[in-house]
Chain A
Amino acid sequence: MNILEISDLHFSYGNGPVLSGISFRIGEGESVGLVGANGAGKSTLLKLVCGLLRPSEGSISVAGVPVRKDTLNQVRRDLGYVFQDADNQLFTSTVYDDVAFAPRNYGLSASETQEAVERALKAVRIEALKDRPVYRLSGGEKKLASIATVLSTSSRLLLMDEPSVALDPRNRRNLIDIVNSLPCAKMIASHDLDFIYDTCPRTILLSEGRVVFDGDTASVLRDRTLLEAHGLELPLSFSRMP
């Protein structure tokens, strides 16, 4: 079964189209990279998928449920959105409370919540930070904590917006390992093409609101002509290759 189905999606903020005729599917457990120049529509697409924006045309369904105003609660239980700025995602005072926020809101009992939190923290390897105040976290720790906040409700589809921004090399490598270990489906929007190469076997290239490529990551990231035509460059991993 497909966890995400998008069909002929159109969206505009009012001053010209941002997305035009977007269609693709993501299967259970699949990892898909979303790349494109600034203004290509990556973040907009992620927000449409989780119902933060409404399309002007077309349809989106998550786990077979169409994304509409009346189905948002149901859809969002299967989704997790990791914001670019972790401070927007971590709004309680401790890591535990932030990770427990969603389970508590969905009515889980105290013991179920504790179990869900511990499972999520274990998945991102930050069990030791459970009681740490959020303002005491480093940038890398905040990123992992923000991922944990969406894993605690057993999300089947993880949407990540620029996850490797402002991470040092070690934290970035750690994040790649953790993302690869997560069994859920993922759609990762990023300018870090090397990160996409390391985490997503499939990549969708957006340009001026349209899908111009949807296929094998290595193929698109080796294609200098295609990348440069759409405002991108060869990633470092490929630019040094003969």
Chain B
Amino acid sequence: MHMADALVSPVVAGIMYACSAVAVVLSIRGMRSGEEDRERSIPLMGVMGAFVFAAQMINFAIPGTGSSGHLCGGMLLSALLGPCAGFLTMTAILLVQCLLFADGGLMALGCNVWNMGFYGCFVGGFLIWRAFTDRKMTRGRIIAASVVGCVVSLLLGAFSVTLETLASGITELPFAVFVRFMLPIHLVIGLVEGLITAAVLVFILEARPGLLQGAGGPAEGGRRMKFASVLAVLAAVTLVVGGLMSHLASSDPDGLEWSVEKVTGAPEIESDGPEWAAGVQERTALLPDYAFRDSERGTSFSGIAGALAVLVLCFAVGMAFRKPAGRKIETSGAD
């Protein structure tokens, strides 16, 4: 579910960066407040982050299907470290994945942190985990919490990906089609990830129950996050994000429509595409008439040819003046 840079516009990327940044700041404040506790948490988060990263490389065979699934990091980290520390760890993991493995773009990092970290840790790993395990910590409750938590957080994440991509104007795919494509896939993925995560957490319950949040383990902060305040934050963020995104869709005719109107005398060109596509779009368009400004230059043959020529020139200049980087360190095999 990692989003690439090409799937978001700068405005959407900026909004999601802001939302994720607020969540990071609140998480730091929500963590255990004593200096020694905070210092102790840092290597714990770092090492656990590396563990989750590596553990997600393991393929877990799904019986009877021939395919495999992976661990759900957000849920696992929250169940062990608490939602705040879990979220910070997920943020670190996503950044390292983005930079080292190009799993997700740099501009889209804010979206990825929100879609995978926020929902995984606060919705799945906190709200749902607590709802199931607050009173009693049993195998059944852990399995239920893990499965429901993973499914819900993955569905929310997939839904957010759809909204963010559509709000960025990246795809012409209608909203309902996009959602109908994304959600069932992520439902199945969530089920599998939930079961794998449940298996690990049940093992921990049997081996070292004190490690699990809520099972007498260390609670985050001196004060637990109140359910109502979490919901309030979620609602406020949803309103801000939704409101800002809908503001992007302007009702004024854009340059292209204006050009078309001037040339043809009609605001829109009749499409000669299949009627079914137009019908689907009409019924499912969430943001109709959503367009940007003038683009004539960008699509002319001369414009494109000129741009290609510049690229070739740049390549030639680079090759003429290249100075390959020297190696400072001799590599040797480690054991």
Residues of A within 8 A of B (CB): 91, 131-133, 135-139
- Nearest CB on B from A130, distance (A): 10
Interface residues contributed by chain B, number (CB under 8 Å): 8
CA distance A132 to B43 in the complex (A): 22
From B328, B329, B332, give the contact of A138 (CB < 8 A): B332
Contact between B335 and A138, CB atoms less than 8 A apart: yes
Residues on the B chain within 8 Å of A138, using CB: 332-335
Residues on the A chain within 8 Å of B328, using CB: 131
Which 9 A-B pairs have CB atoms at the shortest separation, nearest pair first?
A: A139-B335, A138-B335, A136-B334, A138-B334, A137-B334, A132-B329, A131-B329, A136-B331, A135-B334
- Nearest CB on B from A84, distance (A): 16
- Nearest CB on A from B57, distance (A): 17
Sample (6) of A-B pairs whose CB atoms are under 8 Å apart: A132-B329, A135-B334, A136-B329, A136-B334, A138-B332, A138-B334
Residues on the A chain within 8 Å of B329, using CB: 131-133, 136
Within 8 A of A (CB), among B98-148: none
CA distance A131 to B328 in the complex (A): 8
Contact between B334 and A91, CB atoms less than 8 A apart: no
CA distance A139 to B333 in the complex (A): 10
Residues on the B chain within 8 Å of A91, using CB: 43
CA distance A131 to B334 in the complex (A): 15
From A131, A136, A139, give the contact of B332 (CB < 8 A): A136
Residues on the A chain within 8 Å of B331, using CB: 136
Within 8 A of A (CB), among B285-335: 328-329, 331-335
Residues of B within 8 A of A (CB): 43, 328-329, 331-335
Residues on the A chain within 8 Å of B334, using CB: 135-139
CA distance A136 to B332 in the complex (A): 6
Chain A residue at smallest Cβ distance from B335:
A139
CA distance A132 to B332 in the complex (A): 10
CA distance A136 to B331 in the complex (A): 7
Chain A residue at smallest Cβ distance from B332:
A136
- Nearest CB on B from A82, distance (A): 18
- Nearest CB on A from B333, distance (A): 7
Residues on the B chain within 8 Å of A132, using CB: 329
Residues on the B chain within 8 Å of A135, using CB: 334
CA distance A136 to B328 in the complex (A): 13
Residues on the A chain within 8 Å of B332, using CB: 136, 138
Identify the interface centre among B43, B331, B334: most chain A CB within 10 Å of its CB: B334
- Nearest CB on B from A232, distance (A): 28
CA distance A8 to B156 in the complex (A): 61
CA distance A136 to B335 in the complex (A): 9
Chain A residue at smallest Cβ distance from B43:
A91
- Nearest CB on A from B49, distance (A): 13
Residues on the B chain within 8 Å of A139, using CB: 334-335
CA distance A6 to B332 in the complex (A): 44
Identify the interface centre among A131, A132, A139: most chain B CB within 10 Å of its CB: A132
- Nearest CB on A from B38, distance (A): 16
- Nearest CB on B from A6, distance (A): 25
- Nearest CB on B from A11, distance (A): 21
What 15 new A-B contacts, CB under 8 Å, besides A138-B333, A138-B334?
A: A91-B43, A131-B328, A131-B329, A132-B329, A133-B329, A135-B334, A136-B329, A136-B331, A136-B332, A136-B334, A137-B334, A138-B332, A138-B335, A139-B334, A139-B335
CA distance A21 to B183 in the complex (A): 66
Residues on the A chain within 8 Å of B333, using CB: 138
CA distance A133 to B333 in the complex (A): 12
CA distance A122 to B174 in the complex (A): 67
CA distance A135 to B333 in the complex (A): 9
CA distance A73 to B332 in the complex (A): 37
- Nearest CB on A from B232, distance (A): 39
Residues on the A chain within 8 Å of B335, using CB: 138-139
CA distance A210 to B333 in the complex (A): 43
Chain B residue at smallest Cβ distance from A130:
B329
CA distance A137 to B333 in the complex (A): 7
- Nearest CB on B from A107, distance (A): 17
CA distance A133 to B328 in the complex (A): 11
- Nearest CB on B from A113, distance (A): 20
Chain A residue at smallest Cβ distance from B328:
A131
CA distance A135 to B43 in the complex (A): 18
CA distance A8 to B328 in the complex (A): 53
CA distance A133 to B329 in the complex (A): 9
- Nearest CB on B from A68, distance (A): 15
- Nearest CB on A from B71, distance (A): 23
CA distance A136 to B333 in the complex (A): 6
CA distance A94 to B333 in the complex (A): 16
CA distance A60 to B334 in the complex (A): 39
- Nearest CB on B from A131, distance (A): 6
- Nearest CB on B from A90, distance (A): 12
